[in-house]
Amino acid sequence: MLAQVGGDYFAAQRKCPHLGFNLCRGSLDGAAVVCPLHKAKFDLASGKIERDPKLLFIQMTAKSDLKTYPVRIEGEDVLVGV
């Protein structure tokens, strides 16, 4: 997943580390991505969990942080280190 927030680019795994839902269908909250399934929130710079998942009234604990990748801009190209 690649996201642009302001002038900064962030790259992270596409699947939520909790249940594997597609984070590309989620939303951005500043420099964080929110899972559309259970509203877990991950910082795009570090991958750290900012808010644990919750389904209806069931509070859960995220299994792991989001994997992030380094991004470099060269001219008009966005390069992601994987």
Q: Which pLDDT band holds residue 30 (cuts at 50, 70, 90)? A: very high
Distance (Å, whole) CA 50 – CA 64: 12
Q: What are 28's strand-pairing partners?
A: 33
Q: What is the pTM of this model?
A: 0.87
Q: How many helices (H) and strands (E) does the chain have?
A: 0, 11
Whether the predicted pLDDT of 58 surpasses 80: no
The count of domains in the chain is 1
Q: Please report, for the domain that includes residue 10, its CATH number.
A: 2.102.10.10
Please classify residue 62 by burial: count the beta carbons closer than 10 Å to its beta carbon, then call 0-12 exposed, 13-18 middle and 19+ buried: buried
For residue 38, what are the domain limits?
Answer: 2-80
pLDDT at residue number 45: 96
Which of 64, 69, 71, 41 shows the shortest CA–CA distance to 54? 41
